[in-house]
Amino acid sequence: MLVLMGNFRWKLVRGKCFTFLLYLPGTDVNVLILDHAYPADELMPLTCRGRVRGLEPSRGDVDDALGMFSLTLIDTLDTLVLLNKTAEFEAAVRRVLKDVRLDNDVVVSVFETNIRVLGGLLGGHSMAVMLKDAGHYMQWYQDELLHMAKDLGLRLLPAFNTSSGLPYPRVNLKHGVRGPESRTGTETDTCTACAGTIILEFAALSRFTGDPVFEVHARRALNFLWEKRQRNSNLVGTTINIHSGEWVRRDSGVGAGIDSYYEYLLKAYILLGDDLFLQRFNIHYASIMKYISQPPLLLDVHIHKPLLPARTWMDSLLAFFPGLQVLKGDIRPAIETHEMLYQVTKKHNFLPEAFTTDFRVHWAQHPLRPEFAESTYFLYKATKDPYYLEVGRTVLDNLNRFARVPCGFAAMKDVRTGSHEDRMDSFFLAEMFKYLFLLFAEEEELPFNVEDYIFTTEAHLLPLSLSLSTSEEELDDSNFDWTCPNTRLLFPDPAFPRNFRDPIRSAVDKSCPRIMLSAFWMGRPPLRAQDFMANNPDHLELLRRMGVSLIHLKDGRVQLVQHATQAVSAVAAEDGMRFMQEMMELSSQQQKEQLPPRAVQIISHPFFGRVVLTAGPAQFGTDLSKSITGVSPYSGCVELSNAAFVQGRIALLQRGQCMFAEKARHIMKAGAIGGIVIDDNEGSSSDTAPLFQMAGDGRNTDDVTLPLLFLFYKEGNILLEALKEYREVEVLLSDKARDRGEIHWTEQEGATDWMKKCSEHGSLFQLIRDQI
């Protein structure tokens, strides 16, 4: 078992703007310790022994990575070469060839075995060939690791024997699947990443050996996933039925369950030179940025209703995504999301396994995952901003301070308490040490040019020389837009990324406020939740001083996040906590009664009730469910100061700039008998967004007696287009659409309260502009 530990050395790292000393563990000569765990798959760093599957209490699916094949040793082979431990690498290869068996009667994860063991063998083979060609080491090597890799690949192939081509999630290394002795093959579901993270290793195996069968199966699985994407959103779900292709879990994000599927589409293009992979990645990426990305957040959505959030927390696996965005060439959102992740890291010392949108712990574990270090490395490569060296130093310091134990590095059981788990996954040595070493290493310290290789999702090194020209057709140049740009042109000034980072980092800026500003705010009463206005600059400054930050979400809502340590003083922090508590109470009061949707029905010629628009209710004003006839009439006013013109009509209002209750009071004062608020969020629709319920302003709203309804952008546009084409439009505001026969009867009765004409489209917006 390999454990990178032992002596330390000080390494001087010079950036353009600063110089600092870095405490870098685990890079001395005597770093390979096989005493504690070999030949077990993993080290248990608290008890200083190996983890042998079946001898230790089961941890569930986590143990599916263990196959009694010295997992950590194989997973770390190419790390040894990168760290200039060539003699140790040669000894480790000999040990693998001598001791490791791949025909064990054990059920393993196809995904984990592929990326860790098959990838480790292929990465080790790549390094062995490189060293042999250099003429100093591995002169005896005759592709033995490659032969082992092919043996393992053949043992994984039975998992792909499905009608869809998607692999079973598990396979028995000795008996395959579905046989009476296999103890597997009854599963019906697999995760998208599990089926879509095969192509790099299987294609490399095919091209190294000349046997196309592996690449064919991996491409078939990827093709099936692509065909099963949701065609409107171009997103994929998290879990899929391997037989029917039906989505079992329809939430979509870039974290656990999906992450490396997207990664392998782009990297398959880079490694294999097939522009089909790039086309697919670009289509997916556009949808990710449209629906999932809410900079700096990345929030899961539903694939069929992508404007509908699927959860309010994020998992730590999405930390790889800024690094992938660097490869894509989309640097700005990479910087923003990475900065958010860094702030979470500084808050909790490590990225919790999951955290909420206000950066609180959702799942407290941290198994020493490497994804954040990976993205830090790629951002430094792209920008050369020494800031990312500081980030790396923080990661290293925290590992040494909180995770280091006598026999290695222990996973965090709870980042809040600092408690450990007797666990050190193989990816810690395979990925974390690799990316941290690359982050700080000078170019002359590397034994080979890493630009000649692609990193797999387990950070194994596959040579780009594997790329083969499979077609004489010209590539579509449009696919290369914003792909792998020249970062020297993008960032002539290494400090340029700071312009993107500062708005996020300012939320945790601990610098003292200026004296004049402090004196200006001194003695002002604390901000109360019921008085807060999101567009009031004074209120926003008060929030900042209380350590409260405001995040604008894509659906038009705002989210408030409070960190007491970011307040300008202890008193301000207490005010902030009080403000947040008031906000929660206010929100709780407003959400006690979830009202059903309402209807806006166009009843005049030529619609006659055929057009019904779904509208969101207000928690104040007339209750339309208790109205017999509804409110019918109309909007289209010029200036609200002209009360005579507004009187007896419905006012069309644009969302924003003041509270909904305030809008209602304005138009009611002018004599309007109802109001319709139209969302200013372009593209929003009741088809894809949850019902929006307009809340009060924290005060008593009994004085508001007219009905107020909310239309999303799409539905509001239908109403506005009707006004543009038909200068006179009558609408009915009600709790539900009325039967057209009933509408006709009401018209025949000649109800006196119904309006007979409407103003033009331009006048409507003049009303909105001038008054609200």
Q: What is the pLDDT of residues 65-92, one digit of tens each?
A: 999 999 999 999 999 999 999 999 999 9
Clarify whether residues 578 and 630 are in a common domain: no
- CB-CB contact of 466 with 208 (8 Å): yes
pLDDT digits over 582-614, tens only? Answer: 787 766 655 545 667 777 777 776 766 656 677
Is the dihedral angle over the CA atoms 573, 579, 582, 584 positive or is it negative? negative
Q: Is residue 348 part of a domain?
A: yes
pLDDT for the residue numbered 35: 79
**pLDDT computed for residue 555 by the predictor:** 59
**Of 49, 58, 55, 3, the residue nearest 25 (C-alpha):** 3
Lowest mean pLDDT: which of 39-53, 195-209, 591-605?
Answer: 591-605
Q: Which of 90, 353, 575, 679 is catalytic?
A: 353
Angle at 565 between CA 561 and CA 570, to 5 degrees: 110
Regarding whether 541 and 502 lie in a shared domain, the answer is: no
Q: Is 42 among the residues known to form the active site?
A: no
Greater confidence, 719 or 279? Answer: 279
- 41 and 154 both lie in a single domain: yes
Residues 610, 554, single domain; the answer is no
Q: Does residue 440 share a domain with residue 375? A: yes
Q: What is the pLDDT of residue 609?
A: 62
Number of domains in the chain: 4
**Looking at the whole model, is its pTM more than 0.75?**
no
- Indicate if 703 belongs to the active site: no
Residue 524: band (very low, low, confident or very high) from pLDDT cuts 50, 70, 90? low
pLDDT tens by residue, 164-199: 999 999 999 999 998 888 889 899 999 999 999 999
Indicate whether 118 and 142 sit together in one domain: yes
Residue 556 clears pLDDT 70, i.e. is over it = no
Q: Which pLDDT tens digit goes with each residue over 483-513?
A: 444 444 455 565 566 766 766 665 443 333 3
> Final residue of a domain: which of 453, 481, 509?
509
Q: Is residue 193 included in any domain, yes or no?
A: no
Does 619 share its domain with 581? no
Answer yes or no: is pLDDT of 749 > 90: no
- For residue 497, what pLDDT is reported? 67
CA angle, residues 142, 143, 149, in degrees to nearest 5: 155
Q: Are residues 423 and 353 in the same domain?
A: yes
pLDDT at residue 115, rounded to an integer: 98
User: Cis omega before residue 25 (within 30°)?
Assistant: no
CA distance 772 to 767: 8
d(CA 393, CA 389): 6
Cis peptide before 180 (omega within 30 of 0): no
Residues in binding site for Ca(2+)? 457
Q: Which of 251, 336, 339, 371 is catalytic?
A: 371
Integer angstrom CA distances of residue 426 from 41, 44, 109, 112, 113: 8, 11, 15, 11, 12
Q: Give the pLDDT band (50/70/90) at residue 42.
A: very high
**In the prediction, which pLDDT does 510 show?**
38
List of residues 6+ apart from 202 with CB closer than 8 A: 114, 153, 214, 215, 217, 218
Q: For residue 538, what is the enclosing H or E element?
A: helix 537-545
Q: Are the C-beta atoms of 333 and 369 separated by less than 8 Å?
A: no
Binding-site residue set: 457
Among 191-195, 346-350, 441-445, 675-679, the minimum mean pLDDT is found in 675-679
- Could you tell me the CATH number of the domain that includes residue 659? 3.50.30.30
Burial profile 625-653: b = 16 or more Cβ within 10 angstroms, e = fewer: eeeeebbbbbbbbbebeeeebbeebbbbb
pLDDT higher than threshold 90 for residue 280: yes
> Cα(343)–Cα(339) distance, rounded to whole angstroms?
6
The answer as to whether 539 is a domain residue is yes
582 an active-site residue? no
Does the active-site annotation cover 770?
A: no
Helix (H, G, I), strand (E, B) or coil at 433: helix
CA 43 to chain centre: 31
Q: Which domain holds residue 124?
A: 26-187
Closest by alpha carbon to 69, among 132, 156, 130?
156
The pLDDT of residue 598 is 79
Range 389-418 average pLDDT: 93
Q: Is the pLDDT score of 528 beyond 70?
A: yes
Q: Is the pLDDT confidence value at 738 over 70?
A: no
Question: What confidence tier does 462 reach under pLDDT thresholds 50, 70, 90?
Answer: very high
Residue 187 φ/ψ, nearest 5 degrees:
-70, 150
Quickly tell me which residue has 């949850």 as its tokens: 690
The percentage of residues in the chain with a pLDDT greater than 90, rounded to a whole number, is 51
pLDDT category at 203 given cuts 50, 70, 90 is very high
Which tops the pLDDT comparison, 62 or 488?
62
Mean pLDDT throughout 442-455?
A: 94
Q: Are 196 and 264 in contact (CB under 8 A)?
A: yes
Question: Which residue among 259, 275, 339, 679 is the active-site one?
Answer: 259
Q: Is residue 570 part of a domain?
A: yes
Region 436-445 average pLDDT: 94
